[in-house]
Amino acid sequence: MVPFLNAILGTMLPMLGMAKQDNMKWVFSSALSHFSESILEYLANLDKAPDPTVRKDTFSSEIYAAYDILYCNWIQSRDSKVRLTVAEAVGSMSHLMAHDKLEEQLPKLIPTILSLYKKNTEHYVISKSLCQVLDASVNMGSRVLETQIDSLLTTLNQQVCAPVDYSNPPTVKNHNEVLRCFSILANTFPDRLVMFVLQKLENSNERIRMGSLAVLRHLINSSSKTAS
């Protein structure tokens, strides 16, 4: 199916601009999320693919055109379900966007994703999306990402310091995604991140200290696994 997705995306694009109802926006966003995940999985297993000539740039133009509609018109929807589904789609789509387009969007995209934490009670999808955007940014060697590091660390710190209810799977998954975000940033900005965490360890608030310790423990464990 993946080799034919470009034609499907081309057919879908005009329909995105005509979608006015929230339920249709949710359906299209969900479809784009699944399409993007399927493409990424296909590209990750090209040796087993029926058409090994498929490349990421095969889909880049259509994906960016869809992203433009989702980001400019839908991500600030009043409907929280639409906002979260759009965020999830954008996270997956970021890996398929042309590098120059993603780099161009990062100064707007990252603050927008961070702002969603205050507008939604469900944070896991937001953290998952942010993690994917950060991963795509680091993989392409983004230079713009450094301009966002302070706001990223501040917001991620607020998330990692939030109490984790182990009887509530979404809060556990959110905590894990936030730690993954810290790991991704640590690979590119190790000095900035460690200095930030050490400063937080000196805070008088126990919850902040516990969150900082969780980050340090995760980074140490991650580096140990990489080394082995």
Q: What is the pLDDT of residues 78-109, one digit of tens each?
A: 999 999 999 999 999 999 999 999 999 999 99
108 found inside a domain: no
Largest CA distance in the chain: 58
10 found inside a domain: yes
With H, G, I as helix, E, B as strand and everything else as coil, classify residue 117.
helix
Same domain for 58 and 134? Answer: no
User: What confidence score (pLDDT) does residue 227 get?
Assistant: 53
Same domain for 188 and 142? Answer: yes
Q: Is the dihedral of CA 110, 112, 114, 120 positive or negative?
A: negative
Q: Picking from 6-15, 19-28, 60-69, 185-194, which range would have the lowest pLDDT averaged per residue?
A: 6-15
Same domain for 82 and 13? Answer: yes
113 found inside a domain: no
**What is the span of the domain harbouring residue 65?**
1-97
Cβ contacts of residue 165 below 8 Å, gap of 6+? Answer: 171, 172
Same domain for 91 and 130? Answer: no
Calculate what percentage of the chain has a pLDDT beyond 90: 77
Reported as a pLDDT band with limits 50, 70 and 90, residue 225 is low
Digit-coded pLDDT (tens) for 120-149: 999 999 999 999 999 999 999 999 999 999
* Helix, strand, coil percent content, the chain, rounded in steps of 5: 80, 0, 20
Per the structure, the count of domains in the chain is 2
User: What confidence score (pLDDT) does residue 224 get?
Assistant: 64
68 found inside a domain: yes
CB neighbour burial string for 167-178, b if at least 16 within 10 angstroms, e if fewer: eeeebeebbebb
The C-alpha angle with vertex 136 and arms to 130 and 139, in degrees rounded to 5, equals 135
226 found inside a domain: yes
104 found inside a domain: no
User: What confidence score (pLDDT) does residue 24 get?
Assistant: 95
Same domain for 29 and 65? Answer: yes
11 found inside a domain: yes
Same domain for 62 and 160? Answer: no
User: What confidence score (pLDDT) does residue 226 get?
Assistant: 57
3 found inside a domain: yes
Same domain for 87 and 139? Answer: no
With H, G, I as helix, E, B as strand and everything else as coil, classify residue 21.
coil
Residue 2 has pLDDT above 70, yes or no: no
